[in-house]
Structures are given as C-alpha cells and as structure tokens.
Structure 1
Amino acid sequence: MTLSEWSYTATVTAAVLYLVAFALHSFEWSSARGLAAARPGDGSEDAARVRVDFYGRLGLMVTGLSAVLHVAGVVLRGVA
C-alpha cells in the first residue's frame, strides 16, 4: 500500500470511530438521564452509575483513538 492509501484508510477509520464514539456518548447521556429516578438505598443507583461511567470511559477511549488516527491520516497525506 502507498502512503496515500494508508492516509485514506486512517481517515475513514477515524470517521467511523468518531461515529461509534458519538453513539457511546449518547448511551452515556441517556443512561445518566435515568439516575434521578432511582431510589436511594436500593442499590440500583450504584449499578446505573457503573453503566454510565463505563459508557463514558469507553466513549472517551474511542474518541482518543480516532483522534490519533485522524492526525496520522493528515500527517501521512502530507508526507505522501
């Protein structure tokens, strides 16, 4: 593969991962929205908080990975 093909692949992969990160952050926000309705003391709030944190951390990780791929795609395009 040439450098321009690697650049194209990295950029398209970054775009797809940005979309996945958007979906994960949407899951995080929708999960957090229901936390106010949970009753304190029944343990359901802890499980809901873990789910919100999981989606948030996963979304942040995917966003970071896609940003790295995006920068790599731009750099490879400049080198090519």
Structure 2
Amino acid sequence: MLNSADAVNTSLDMGIYSPISVGDLVWFDDNANGIQDPGEEGVPGVRATLYTTSTNAPVPDPNNPGLPLRATTDANGRYLFADLPA
C-alpha cells in the first residue's frame, strides 16, 4: 500500500487471509532411492506431526490445546494439514 508520500507501507493489515495447506505421501521406498517408483505403494496409518522451520518445535493443534498438530495417512498413504495460517 502507498501512503500520501508514495512510500510503500507493508505494516498495514487489510484483513486479507489466505490459508495454506501442506501434505504429501508416505510410501515404502523399496529400493531406497528417495523417489516413488511404480509399484511402491503408499503406507496407511502413519502419524505425521507438523513442525515449524524457525524453532523446530511442533505446531500446536488449535483444537487440542497442549498437543501438536498431527495428521494420519489415509488408505493410500496421503496426508494433509489444511487451513494453516500463512
């Protein structure tokens, strides 16, 4: 946003909120090459915990105070942390 002196002001909160999602796939890497190759299936029932990059601490679960934010892989090995604050 520009002010009257045409200076950029990045400290204003315009109320725009754009949540993000983080997710992927857990699979059994038969040949340990770090790439999901054909035939390497997803692993169901794996619990993933989301951590911050700045402090390496678990992200707190907003619905369960005192617990970390977790997701469990589905039948195909997929997990998703949805609607996270940017």
- TM interval, shorter chain, is under 0.3
Which one scores higher on RCO, CA 8 angstroms, separation ≥ 6?
Answer: 1
For normalisation by structure 2, the TM-score amounts to 0.20
Q: Which has the higher helix share?
A: 1
| Max Rg structure | 2
| More strand as a share of residues | 2
Query: TM-score by structure 1 length?
Result: 0.21
